[in-house]
Structure 1
Amino acid sequence: MSSNNITYKVIIAHFFNPINDKKCEFLEDYAIVAKRTTRGDYKIIERMPKAQLSAYLSRKKNVEIIDKSGQYVIPGLYDTHFHWVQDAVCEMPKANLLHWLENYTWPYEANFKKLAFARKKAKEFTNKIANNGTIGGACYGSIHTHSVSEALKNFKGDYILGNVQMTMNSPEYLTMGVEETIAQTEALAKEYKDQYAVTPRFAITTDPVTMAAGAKTAKKHRSFIQTHLSETQNEIDFVLSIYKDIKGFEKVKTYTEIYDKVGLLTPKTIMGHGIYLSPKELKLLSEKQTMIAHCPTSNAPIKELGLGSGLFDYKRANRFKVHWALASDIGGGPFLSMLDVINSFVIQNHKRGHRDTSYTQGLYRASLAGATSMKLEQESGNFELGKKLHFVSLGSKKMSASLTTEEKLKKLIKRPNKERALYTDLIEATYYNGNVISNR
């Protein structure tokens, strides 16, 4: 039967349905029914125990059953901060953020000047990220326009893309003029609207005139904004040393204030990292409803293949009511898997003494909280009625019926350091809008 003729799609499995940091429903031996809309989307209309399905389907026609009986299923995952053009340098030496950028990242990104290179890499990357269970996120390209167009053409899911703006303190081969950058940003935002993100790389490499123009462009076209904020103390010191000599910024005291002054703090702005933020900065982010993408694997100790930047204090962010979600930050992060990110998030916080940090919380921050960062929480992020059918099958595993939902998640996701690269072995299939986009 052609997929165009399928009215109902039914998946049978054990479902984890994240609700918030503390709550995740476990729907054992359940069936979730999705119906095709006039737009071709498959939206969830019913959830029921598997035993009730036969009677329910007796009144339905044009049904496809996706039988994952005995398997564990989670919602499709969102990665709210990653660089698809850095995948090849994700395991390069990372003793220092700025050194890593200058010696590995930027020289590699220069290759994306060639359209053929970008096209080939986009096709490879879309398969890799789908294999990891990711169905959406906020992504950085290179300075080149086709790093946006080729990614959006190939990536399967809900992605926003931005080409990084680099107008100062950058290598000559990756530096563009202010007027050229502003015009390029306007053209892409006009074309891609809310699939586009105005993307100053960070305040070190993007001048305030360009950032202010980008903020206006984003508002005009309802685009997103994304950049980096306070990843390391060295970065913060460098930023403030630059801006104290720029007219109009002489009295600025914090990194966050710089972004506020140029208009980049909005409800559609995602700030990568945000590790070293003062209470005053967190209060400002909260007032502006600006979000943070927390990247635990990227910021992890060097021995764990991260940059050693430190650990985001999510509890303090919560106190200031700053929304945050998890992200891989590939290639600062070593692996694309959001399951690896969840695992690292829990383990690092446990080492810090936060024993209440849980896999339930990690799953929520990689699914529904990620969808919220993308403004998609009404249509994605979990298995509530009315949402699109996005899911990841993690295969089957023998578990005692007496285990709590948290214990089940831990048993599925927790991995020692030496096995982190093998998370794709856990993922049996990834579905976006009821259709398979990766199948092992």
Structure 2
Amino acid sequence: MYIAVKAAWALLMSMGLLMLGNGLQGSLIGLRATLEGFSTQLAGLLMSAYFVGFLLGSTLTPKIVSKVGHVRVFAALASLASTMVLLHSVFVDPTLWFIMRVITGFCMAGLYIVAESWLNDLATNQTRGQLLSLYMVIVIGGMACGQLLLNVADPGGFKLFILISVLLSFALLPVLLSDAPAPSFAAAAPMGLRQLYHSSPLGVVGCMAVGLSNGAVVGMGVIYAELIGFALSDISMFMGLVLLGSVVLQWPIGHLSDKYDRRWVILVVTLLAALVALLAIPASQLSANTLLATAFLFGGLSFPMYSLCVSHTNDNLEPKQMVAASGSLVLAVGIGATLGPSTAAAIMGLVGPNGLFWFLAVVHAGVGVFALYRMTQRRGVPLDEQGHCVAIPATASQVAMAMVQETAVGDTDRAVESQVEAKIS
């Protein structure tokens, strides 16, 4: 593992800086939108615009990389993303911000794809799972720390936009100065969503629901906190604790899903997330600390649902289908993430700030109901045939998702080999 980390340190550093900047940017745009007098619904559309661009970038970047090359694409997208951040502070117009958010989402998707391609190229069958776990901590941890940077300067000024631009520019350096050769990138032919749904209905529906939930939290969480009267320090802590909770509870939940029927774990975790979302409504009336603790717990239950749904999908696929399914799973979560912020914003506009948690409760309860229904339609995968649950952030591109699938294929192959050896002996 030490050798793998030593080889990948530049890439991991780049991703950490990218996530610091991206985590700060998402919250700053939402907060600044309210400070500029944009309506909640308009702010929700701006947050959704990022995920529209992210979907486009996930689809188009592999084609651009194949023509231009990794280094040039990474440099161009990082430069463009850095420019878009600065333009937000110059032109305060919702139409222009929407376009800028689409472009920013496109750039970030491309940056993830290039960096994760390099990471995948450096990984081996023995280190891939460990590198993915470390990558997950860096991505979520970077986003969480990015929230705390809101306290560095006044969100109503331009200094935070400059800071984000600097972070994105610095993220370019480790990759460009790395002596690791550029990897080859060959995207697998995707499995259609309809075909994937027939193989794993709960996995696909769960991934879309995760997109709805995570997109709403990441996009509208800072606006919710500002509307209920949180100070800037509490706003940054609120968002940071949501993300920190996802890191802390990811592995215990994943471990449980390896020991028990994964559908039952999905059911319990999603219903608990729905319950905590409902509890957040009265918690907001009690004290800031109570709501912050609730936010930590919700993040710890909601965000790991992505890893559970991906692992459940893998359990229902043949090894040769897993890598092809990666792009469709990214598409499923991307569709949900695109709809999440604008839908949550519309509900918040009707019933007030707590509409965010009403929306989150309904989404997670809906997954629970669907999970119960699916249990009546199909027998569960035997425990000895379940793959290992690999922690993965919902922001991952199809490259990282393919790494998860490759890890699952490796786990399946090793399990088969162990069963064969046991029968022989």
Indicate the structure with greater helix content: 2
Greater relative CO, 1 or 2 (CA 8 Å, sep 6+): 2
TM-score range normalised by the length of the shorter chain: under 0.3
Report the TM-score, using the length of structure 2 for normalisation. Answer: 0.26
> Whose Rg is larger?
1
- Greater fraction of residues in strand: 1
Q: TM-score if structure 1 supplies the norm length?
A: 0.25
